[in-house]
Amino acid sequence: MPISTAPVDNVVDRIENAGPLDPVVKAVKSVVTALLKPQAVRDALHGVWLGHPLHPVLTDVPIGTWSAAAILDAVPGTGPAASTLIAIGCASAVPTAVSGWADWSQLHPPQQRVGLVHAAANVTGLGLYTASLLARAKGHTLRGKALAYAGFGAVMAGGYLGGHLVFRQAAGTNHVADTLDLFPSGWQEIGRFDDLPDGAPTKRTVEGVDLLVVRRGQHVDVLTNRCSHLSGPLSDGSFTVEGGQGCIVCPWHGSTFRLADGAVVHGPTTSPQLRFETRVVNGALEVRLPA
Ligand code: FES
């Protein structure tokens, strides 16, 4: 990771490389993994059903309500409305956090270190907002506002780290979105059909773009080889059957893609793999981008 000259980025770079956080990461990960064991629960929390990561969608509610409360707290006579918004934010923070932990448990160590501090900032914010609500309920309005503004600061710091995770460390992004731009146009020969192993995933490369090739008898499926989750090599993965359909399982975090169309069957990814068109010409297998 290149070292930025911005002071705040230098702080985040240090968090990325903070090895002393690793025992905490390991302990938290084991708890999260144990609690979120069922595949269906994990898929739901990742957002497989939505076709989009669920966590960033859910974050809109607590951030939106707490931001609105911060504005109302500066306006006289809006105490009950601000309290209502803060309470909604606190309630919505719980499912938001759970979906975030699910995603976090399937990241690389530098991402998990940043994610851990991101979560700590948000938990601090949630605690301060809860204390704010209690103070307001007892009639300590000024104290309640001070606690809420402190919570807002903590949540903004957490939000900054969440942005860093996505935009700098590429957690939650589609890692194969550039295939359409990189792959040459037209049919491309990738070898003799008969030379392909039958029933075993293998890799072919066209102008730097790796392809996953799975031949089963006279049928062949070709997908982008780099996993959309975090670029794991699908050709090192395993073939499986889900719902009567052939699928490939990523060797890194278990994302599962249907070979017939590249669709996501199981997360953590929510982005499908690109599936190439194929044809056999004089015994040679050719592929091209889908129309
Ligand atoms: S790289 Fe994470 S599931 Fe493939």
Give yes or no for residue 258 CB within 6 A of ligand 1: no
Same domain, 125 and 206: no
Calculate what percentage of the chain has a pLDDT beyond 90: 95
Instruction: Quickly state the pLDDT bin for 2 (edges 50, 70, 90).
Output: low
Q: What pLDDT, on a 0 to 100 scale, did the predictor assign at position 227?
A: 98
- Rg over alpha carbons for the chain, rounded to the nearest Å, is 23
Same domain, 63 and 140: yes
CA distance 146 to 129: 10
Residue nearest to atom 2 of ligand 1 (CA): 253
- Boundary residue ending a domain (116, 140, 168): 168
For residues 237-249, average pLDDT: 96
Same domain, 270 and 216: yes
State yes or no: pLDDT of 216 exceeds 70. yes
- Note whether residue 100 is domain-resident: yes
Same domain, 198 and 122: no
Same domain, 25 and 140: yes
Task: Provide the total of helices (H) and of strands (E) in the chain, helices listed first.
Answer: 8, 10
CA distance 89 to 95: 11
Same domain, 223 and 144: no
Same domain, 209 and 141: no
- Note whether residue 202 is domain-resident: yes
For residues 12-16, average pLDDT: 93
- Domain with residue 269: its CATH number is 2.102.10.10
pLDDT in tens, 117-165: 999 999 999 999 999 999 999 999 999 999 999 999 999 999 999 999 9
**Domain limits at 19?**
7-168
State yes or no: pLDDT of 101 exceeds 60. yes
Give yes or no for residue 257 CB within 6 A of ligand 1: no
- Note whether residue 173 is domain-resident: no
Number of domains in the chain: 2
Closest ligand 1 atom number to CA of residue 250: 4
CA distance 99 to 44: 9
Average pLDDT of every residue of the chain? 96
What DSSP string runs through 100-112? HHHHHTTS-HHHH
